[in-house]
């Protein structure tokens, strides 16, 4: 009887050891799988970051030596994220151009200067800027987003018809000056503007010049006339100086029902 009890006890102990070992092995296997999955996720995130970095669009300053009218402005640019995830920019004192180029094999030669809106107080950069440029680029059209100075934000000394318009005109001239580099036809560069950006697009289409011959800055020698204008739910205040003529480029106008 004692022998049978001892054998049963030994079997129970061996079974417990087996179960412990099995459980321990399962834990090791689970930990190993977790490590492998984590490593894969880290590698994927790293690859995605590298790919995103490699595809990062070029950003250039429109006025490398400082924009006329912004002398002494040192306040930093601010960015807030809207509830919808849009990047909303304000306090712009160093206007820039963000360049989205299509692959050379897809390029059509057309280029569009994109002017986001925001009531001349801020710039909604995603759905009126980056997404538009990406869509255009995907369809063989070069997109150039203007980050321009804002005339209606609190304390601003800028004017829509002065600094803001100058930034858009400078953007058009800049694209023309680098047309060969960017694989763009200088005669096929137009503008598209949203809301307040539509106001600026219309201004650019009615206030242009052929450039300044012999200017020290080669960009200033370029024509600022857009080949076409797309005005998307534009804010267009009455302006007696904004007159149409036979020289006004063709327009596409889109208005919202609301």
> Which of 163, 165, 162 is CA-nearest to residue 226?
165
Task: Please report the pLDDT score of residue 152 as a whole number.
Answer: 97
Residue range 58-254 forms a domain whose CATH class is alpha beta
Q: For residue 141, which phi and psi values (nearest 5 degrees)?
A: -115, 125
| Cα torsion angle, 62, 63, 67, 68, sign | negative
pLDDT of res. 235: 85
For residue 44 the two structure tokens come to 């994927």
pLDDT of residue 218: 96
Instruction: Please report the pLDDT score of residue 236 as a whole number.
Output: 74
Question: Which own/partner pairs from 233-236 qualify as long-range (CB within 8 Å, at least 24 positions apart)?
Answer: 233/194, 233/195, 233/198, 234/193, 234/194, 234/195, 234/197, 234/198, 234/199, 234/201, 234/202, 235/117, 235/119, 235/195, 235/196, 235/198, 235/199, 236/198, 236/199, 236/202
Q: Tell me what pLDDT residue 229 has.
A: 98
Closest CA relative to residue 110, chosen from 143, 145, 147, 132: 143
Q: Which residues of the chain have pLDDT under 70?
A: 1-55, 238-242, 258
Give the pLDDT of residue 92: 98
pLDDT given for residue 244 in this prediction? 83
Predicted local distance difference test score (pLDDT) of residue 41: 38
Positive or negative torsion for Cα 151, 60, 192, 203: positive
249 three-state secondary structure? coil
Q: What is the pLDDT of residue 243?
A: 78
């Amino acid at each position: 009887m004692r022998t049978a009890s001892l054998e049963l006890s030994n079997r129970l102990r061996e079974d417990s050891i087996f179960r412990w070992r099995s459980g321990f092995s399962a834990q090791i296997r689970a930990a190993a799988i977790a490590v492998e999955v984590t490593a894969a996720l880290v590698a994927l995130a790293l690859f995605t970051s590298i790919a995103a970095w490699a595809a990062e669009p070029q950003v250039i300053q429109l006025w490398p030596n400082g924009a006329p009218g912004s002398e002494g402005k040192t306040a930093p640019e601010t960015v807030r994220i809207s509830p919808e995830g849009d990047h909303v920019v304000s306090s712009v004192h160093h206007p820039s151009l963000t360049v989205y180029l299509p692959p050379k094999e897809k390029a059509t030669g057309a280029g569009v200067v994109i002017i986001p809106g925001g009531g001349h107080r801020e710039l909604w950069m995603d759905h009126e800027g980056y997404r538009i440029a990406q869509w255009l680029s995907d369809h063989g059209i070069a997109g150039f987003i203007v980050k321009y100075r804002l005339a209606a934000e609190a304390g601003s000394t800028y004017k829509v018809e002065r600094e803001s318009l100058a930034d858009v005109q400078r953007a058009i001239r800049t694209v023309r000056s680098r047309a060969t580099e960017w694989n763009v036809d200088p005669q096929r560069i137009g503008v598209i503007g949203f809301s307040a950006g539509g106001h600026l697009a219309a201004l650019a289409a009615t206030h242009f010049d052929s450039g300044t011959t012999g200017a020290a800055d080669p960009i200033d020698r370029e024509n600022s006339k857009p080949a076409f204008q797309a005005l998307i739910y534009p804010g267009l205040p009455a302006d007696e100086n904004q007159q149409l003529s036979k020289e006004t480029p063709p327009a596409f106008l889109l208005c919202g029902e609301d």
